[in-house]
Amino acid sequence: MVHPSPVPPGPAAGRRHASSRRPGRRRTFAALAASLTGLALSAALGATPVQAAGNAPATAPVVRIHEGLIRGVSGENGTSYLGIPYAKPPVGPLRWKPPAPPEGWRGVRDATKPGNPCMQSKVQTPWGDLAGPGTPSEDCLYLNVHVPAKRSLRPRPVMVWIHGGGFTIGSGAFYDGGVLAQRGDVIVVTLNYRLGAFGFLAHAGLSAESPTGSSGNYGLLDQQAALRWVQRNIAAFGGNPRNVTIFGESAGGGSVCQNLISPLAKGLFHRAIAQSGCAFPAAPKQTAEAAGENFAAAVGCFDVACLRAKPAEQLLAAAGTPAFDRITWGPSVDGHVVREQVMEAFRAGRLPRVPVIQGTTRDEARLNVATAYDLAGRVLTAEEYPQAVRRAFPSTADQILARYRLSDYGTPAEALAAIYTDAQFACPSYASTALLARHTRAYAYEFSDPHAMDYLNLPVSFPLGAPHGSEIRYIFGGVTGTPAQQALADRMLTYWTRFAHTGVPNGKGSPVWKKFPLVQDLAPGAIKPTLTFAKDHKCDLWAQITG
């Protein structure tokens, strides 16, 4: 049976987690810190994987889709159809090619277990392997469909989740959409897409063989292929192909916005929700191809044929070496899938006029700072704080230190995290939403539960607050904390699914969410609109610094 909760079971906020007393716990987190950087942490925060089901019961429903018959698995929240191929396996000559349509099959295909996650390094965390069930493989282009148990006389809205993980880790099956589907009366689709070098390698040889003269955005093309699959097949599950919402967090939020501006995604969705990731810049084509050629040389290749002959494990290992772990495996401006930067497209209004929700968490970077310091066995001191700022912002450190005084924060770590939060998340999100609001209906939020991570009881010397990714379990229906936290989770799930139904997040029983420039503060017992977001996050400073 599909696991009913999309988050790891844990004690209520404030109770000590038994595993925190185990010897070696700090070493576990140090290993995690060494393995993950920046945006990749997001996948560690949101959900436990869908559990692989056993043999489907005889009563499990069978659905006919374009490719053939499939049998799902039923549980208390409805029926899930897992591991459905939406493209041919991108192996052999199809490595670094756009996804090809899947082949059909005879008989009834078993859809009770998720497909394998895409190639990635296996990272152990307190929640288990971020890849979810299965063994990472190049044969990974699968999706999962979650259908509510209750009947509906009308086609349901469809919500397609694009997972985060820095474009290098994660899987769709790590997130169970069953509760979200049941409570929100929507169809939820989660998907895999190619990651790392397999999904985002740009190379002059690959561009030369492509009829479009482009390479590098295979992961985005996978997402678009999954959305085309939804258009072909979702009606068979009771979904409405004319009412599709794409939503995602971190790299998934960045993917949402890349699809917003990609001409190839036009008409494939009708609403968009970008969580903590919209405004990340894409690499210019020349930069991405140069990095790809350096990567190829490192594995002993100077042409595409050699690259395609290399074992997947060798490519994965090379991508994680010190020489290449700073390469941003992610979207690039290739001139075909992505033609310009997100902010440029938003400014010019080159995007579909679909309603958009975008937002961040109040303390985005606190877990990143905790991972770099406390969880690695050291505490950031007041004396080290200016040095840390100067290393990160060498040319503007004096301006920044003047505005982020230690006396304004509880600890040096909180001050440093505020800088990263405002520079990398809060202010870019606010600026990009302001551009969106010129052209379409836009809503903004800030998730600000100050105890969102307390249930994990991590060994950290400062409060984690509401860090990157901590809102995911509130949306997927997995909160078991205080009554106020559960009420906030209910409101957030309702906002997200009402938006999927109508393009407006408001519904009966929830505080009114007004359009941008108001920002909806999502806090336990205190949901309210605010006009002080830009001031609170010192966005005037970051606009001056970034120009």
> 64-99 burial, b if ≥16 CB within 10 A, otherwise e?
ebebeebbbbbbebbbbbbbbbbbbbbeeeebbbbb
Look at residue 283 and give its three-state secondary structure: strand
Cis preceding-peptide flag for 517 (omega within 30 of 0)? yes
Alpha-carbon distance 193 to 117, whole Å?
A: 8
For residue 335, how many C-alpha atoms fall within 13 Å in the half-sphere facing its CB? 12
Given 5, 74, 207, 250, which residue is catalytic? 250
Q: Alpha helices, DSSP H only, in 55-203?
A: 178-184, 196-200
8 Å CB contact between 443 and 356: yes
Does the annotation count 250 as an active-site position?
yes
CA distance 464 to 67: 47
Q: Which residues are CB-neighbours of 214 under 8 A, at least 6 positions away?
A: 207, 285, 334, 335, 336, 337
Cα dihedral 93/161/445/473 (nearest 10): -120
Question: Which tokens go with 216?
Answer: 């590098």
Q: How far apart are CA 232 and CA 212, in angstroms?
A: 25
Maximum Cα–Cα distance across the chain:
68
Tokens 């229906």 correspond to 477
146 counts as catalytic = no
What is 121-153 written as a DSSP string? ---EETTEETT-SS--BS---EEEEEE-SS--S
How far is the C-alpha of 103 from the C-alpha of 114, rounded, in Å? 18
Q: Which amino acid is at 427?
A: C
Dist CA 284 CA 292 (whole Å) = 12
Cα 4 from Cα 24, distance rounded (Å): 31
Active site residue 383: no
Active-site residue, selected from the candidate residues 468, 470, 471, 501: 468
Q: Which of 289, 364, 446, 471 is catalytic?
A: 364
Token pair for 416: 């440093």
Per DSSP (E only), the strands in 47-163 are 62-65, 68-71, 73-75, 78-85, 108-110, 124-125, 128-129, 142-147, 156-162
Q: Which residues are catalytically annotated?
A: 250, 364, 468
